Amino acid sequence: MYRGERQGFAAERAFAHVGDGVEAARVEKPDAYANACALRISRAFNYGGYKIPKGTIIKNQPIYRLSGADQLPYIMKVVDFLAFLRHNWGEPDHILTQSNSNFINGKKGVIVMEITGWSDASGHATLWNGSVTGDESDYHRQDSHTYDNPRVKLEKINFWELKG
């Protein structure tokens, strides 16, 4: 699997699926919208009962969102999704590194990874079902192909556990 892809659901398909302003932005500037993880998790939130709000979310801190064909807002950047979660859910339940990433096995939640060294993203956001990520990415694992590049480093894994 390659960055920006999920088996059967590549980034461009995610943008097209959401449509409207989201899709138009990708068509206009495809390189700027090459990654869809914040879009995908925003869609999961919007359709999973925790809608991304319109208007101001955090006073004096803009959260970059675009509207989909469903007229719902979608957060477009990992750094903004991380700020959104911290503002609404508080600090992560657990902050991990690659060396202790197995801690989340058997737990369900939201993962936002802070990763340095990528030219087009500051990290990755996804759901976690207790054994695999919702988008089939493996950036939380030490043996991930992405870390073959010595400039790329997983700084931390922010994990909000879903309880109940």
* For range 11-34, the mean pLDDT: 95
Nearest CA among 137, 131, 145 for reference residue 112: 137
We report the CATH number of the domain holding residue 52 as 3.90.1720.70
Whether residue 62 lies inside any domain: the answer is yes
Strands of the chain, DSSP E:
65-67, 73-75, 94-96, 109-116, 123-128, 153-161
Sole residue written with tokens 């359709």:
47
pLDDT in tens, 36-70: 999 999 999 999 999 999 999 999 999 999 999 99
Band of pLDDT at residue 4, cut at 50, 70 and 90? very low
What's residue 9's pLDDT?
Answer: 60
Whether residue 130 lies inside any domain: the answer is yes
Residues 37, 123: Cα–Cα separation, whole Å = 9
Whether residue 1 lies inside any domain: the answer is no
What's residue 8's pLDDT?
Answer: 40
What's residue 142's pLDDT?
Answer: 83
pLDDT in tens, 77-131: 999 999 999 999 999 999 999 889 899 999 999 999 999 999 889 999 999 999 9
Domain interval for residue 30: 11-161
pLDDT in tens, 147-157: 889 999 999 99
Number of domains in the chain: 1
Whether residue 5 lies inside any domain: the answer is no
Write the burial class of residue 44 (CB in 10 Å: 0-12 exposed, 13-18 middle, 19+ buried): middle
Whether residue 2 lies inside any domain: the answer is no
Angle (deg, nearest 10), helices 78-89 and 37-47? 40
Whether residue 3 lies inside any domain: the answer is no
Whether residue 149 lies inside any domain: the answer is yes
Instruction: Tell me how far the alpha carbon of residue 154 is from its chain's centroid.
Output: 14
Res. 133: pLDDT tops 60: yes
21 and 66 in contact (C-beta within 8 Å)? yes
Whether residue 42 lies inside any domain: the answer is yes
* For range 10-20, the mean pLDDT: 94
Nearest CA among 122, 130, 133 for reference residue 162: 130
